[in-house]
Structure 1
Amino acid sequence: MRRAGRLPLASVVRSLLRVPCRPSSREGRPPAPLGARILTNPDHIFQHNMWDHVQWSEEDKENARQKVEKNSSVRIPPEEQVNYDRNAHLYWDGFYEMHQNKFFKDRTWLFQEFPELLSAGPAPPCGGASAPQLRDTAEGESLGDCEGGGRREGGETGSQAGAFPGSEADFRILEVGCGAGNSVFPILSSINSGTFLYCCDFSPRAVQLVKAHPAYDPSLCHTFVQDVCEEASLFPFPPGSLNVILLIFVLSSIHPERMQGVLNRLSQYLKPGGMFLFRDYGRYDLSQLRFKTGRCLSENFYSRGDGTCVYFFTKDEVHHLFTSAGLKEVQNLEDRRLQVNRRKKVVMRRVWMQSKYQKPL
């Protein structure tokens, strides 16, 4: 039986012939953000590992909808669901204990899609300058990234507006759900002396892995265990002190009922003009279609075999979450790609969300 989400080549070619792959300027989506490798000739489909800005036909959307309807038809019983929320940090600790820092690749694409990480100025509007090529391999296909949480290390509190880690920096970045450091170390290798990076995770094991990395530099980075879902949680920096908050495959691992509260609290730590940079799973991504019946917690929210959880977003949902936190949209894109296994001649559809939201001046 063919695995859910893997597409027969003939079906993909027919879809590509029906629907133009090059993004239309009338849609307001420029070719530069999210990559510029456009498949214009279906005969060339196996020349690269990934194709950007792939359009879906109505038939493609309906097939995906039916697969999701099927794998969501049986829900995990409510009395069992509470364990996934209560023990989330234990599941992620187990994940990092097993995989260490070898599961995810370093995100060398970060500065191509998020140049705001290297600049204190406002982000360019959607369609502004951006590197033309992302990367050839998929991000977060199997298990995604983690959410950030747990108990905080150290004695600092967010109310200490005087001396705090990074207080002398001109530009401050927070990554929520840093995992084993796949964003941390590309950022540390690129920032200047006037920038300070904070990174947190609710898995103590993940934080240990970051601190043990040979490239970790406490003069440029402060890493701590933190549960961003806790309403009373305090950060080691004061409100209004951050230029950028980075959320990469992290919000999807938080229970949907907690997401709005997390964004509301985090937004308080942004400076006016500060920016949320967001990338996460999109609705009908391959990884959603692959779930078997009986793994669904609630609508578009699933538990993986290792106990970690994942949600799949739409553009409208992303927009509602961030604007409800008082933020202004700068970019909100749906990243649809064809991921290609050239050896097995298999084509898979990937869907991610990428967004930038700014705190009003």
Structure 2
Amino acid sequence: MSRSQGETEYYSNDFDWEELRERVYNDPTHSHHLLPFTTTATTHHSADNDDSWNHFHARHSTGKFFKERRYLFKEFPELATPCEEGYSKVLEIGCGNGSTALPILRCKENVIVYACDCSTEALERSTENINASNVVSAKTRFHPFCWDFSTSPLPKWLLCDSCYETSLQKQNMFLTGFDCNERNITDITSLKESECCIGGVDFITLIFTLSAVPFDRMSMAVAECFSVLKPGGLLFFRDYGLYDMTMLRFEPEQRVGFREYKRSDGTRSYFFSLDCARDFFLGVGFIEVELDYCCVKSVNRRKQKTMHRVWVHGKFQKPIKHPANLGHG
């Protein structure tokens, strides 16, 4: 990660993940987290998940339950890079109460944030927080909408059918090592951004969102991210990592899958290994730019308790299709 040594130690390397893993394996109180999980014939209902998150955000509608994620620009400095022409477009998936959108809007004026969530309560909270801020033109640069990216195709105004099909053709040619000399691809490479859609986005933030999706729907969710991102665009990923303290607090009866748990309020949480995250993103065509565990030790001074937090930091890029180099894959 592109940080100074001091920042690296502070933000992501307070302890060694392998040592934490060994402690978990040697602690019999954590044995239920390591056991295989027998899959049962259950059906995941999207409406149930949406309702759980609606109730969650309704309960936390007052006060500062979430703080602005000011670490964003240390972890993902590309978000703060000035846009030379026009506006850069950011799609925030799982916007919650706006704790990611607000610092992005505050950081630079020529950025538009399209923010979605499956929870209408979350969208109301985020809109209220953005509108109450003193950020220049925040109201006109913030576009919230309801969307569950794990169950529904992307909205047509983000990327229309024509542009989507063209993107798939380009992607398939690139991934299969197509030789551009074998056919005329002028129509594909010269297609201009459609007037009926925004033509995709430059960046996607997927921060503590994928873990809330049932495991069997994660592949579709990541594929939707790939589809709406412009070639060369970046996806910024941060989510719960394997053996995070919150994982170790779950009781055996709260397991609903391997490394997958359900809280008492009905919301879900999955804990990613690096290999699992890599498989999801590379499996749909992303290029891995960065992927690592962030291991942060924090101390509750009042309770005199040390907490070991583990997050997965990832940065993935959609391949750039250069027609002259398609044959080299």
Instruction: Please report how far the alpha carbon of residue 104 of structure 1 lies from its aligned counterpart in structure 2 after TM superposition.
Output: 1.5
Q: 1:34 to 1:191 in 2, by over 3 A?
A: farther
Distance 1:77 1:57 in 2: 28
Distance 2:117 2:239 in 1: 17
- TM-score, scaled relative to structure 2: 0.75
Distance 2:279 2:295 in 1: 21
Structure 2 gaps of 5+ residues are: 165-198, 321-329
- For 2:125, what is the secondary structure of its paired residue? helix
The one-letter code of the counterpart of 2:50 is: H
Equivalence for 2:59: 98
Greater CA drift, 111-120 or 319-328: 111-120
Q: 1:293 to 1:112 in 2, by over 3 A?
A: same
Instruction: Please report how far the alpha carbon of residue 336 of structure 1 lies from its aligned counterpart in structure 2 after TM superposition.
Output: 1.2
Equivalence for 1:350: 309
Number of positions where the alignment pairs a residue of Structure 1 with one of Structure 2: 273
Distance 2:118 2:267 in 1: 13
Is 1:61 the counterpart of 2:33? The answer is no
After superposition, give the CA deviation of every residue in 1:133-152 in whole Å (9 maximum; x if it has no partner). Answer: xxxxxxxxxxxxxxxxxxxx
After superposition, give the CA deviation of every residue in 1:47-105 in whole Å (9 maximum; x if it has no partner). Answer: xxx883411465x42332354432576979947x5466540010000001110153111
Q: 1:260 to 1:186 in 2, by over 3 A?
A: same
Distance 2:213 2:298 in 1: 26
Sequence identity (%): 32
2:141 to 220, 232, 239: 220
1:171 to 58, 80, 88: 88
Equivalence for 1:303: 262
The one-letter code of the counterpart of 1:324 is: G
Instruction: Please report how far the alpha carbon of residue 272 of structure 1 lies from its aligned counterpart in structure 2 after TM superposition.
Output: 1.1
Q: 1:179 to 1:51 in 2, by over 3 A?
A: closer
Equivalence for 2:100: 183
Instruction: Please report how far the alpha carbon of residue 219 of structure 1 lies from its aligned counterpart in structure 2 after TM superposition.
Output: 1.4
- TM-score, scaled relative to structure 1: 0.69
- Contact 1:285–1:351 (Cα < 8 Å) also in 2: yes
The one-letter code of the counterpart of 1:200 is: C
Equivalence for 2:75: 113
Distance 2:92 2:3 in 1: 27
Distance 1:275 1:115 in 2: 12
Equivalence for 1:282: 241
Distance 1:103 1:255 in 2: 24
After superposition, give the CA deviation of every residue in 1:274-302 in whole Å (9 maximum; x if it has no partner). Answer: 00000000001000000012000010000
Instruction: Please report how far the alpha carbon of residue 169 of structure 1 lies from its aligned counterpart in structure 2 after TM superposition.
Output: 4.5
Greater CA drift, 233-242 or 181-190: 233-242
1 or 2 for the larger relative contact order (CA 8 Å, sep ≥6)? Answer: 1
Structure 1 gaps of 5+ residues are: 1-28, 39-49, 122-167
| Aligned counterparts, 1:145-156, within 5 A | none
Distance 1:309 1:34 in 2: 34
Distance 2:157 2:245 in 1: 38
1:203 to 114, 119, 122: 119
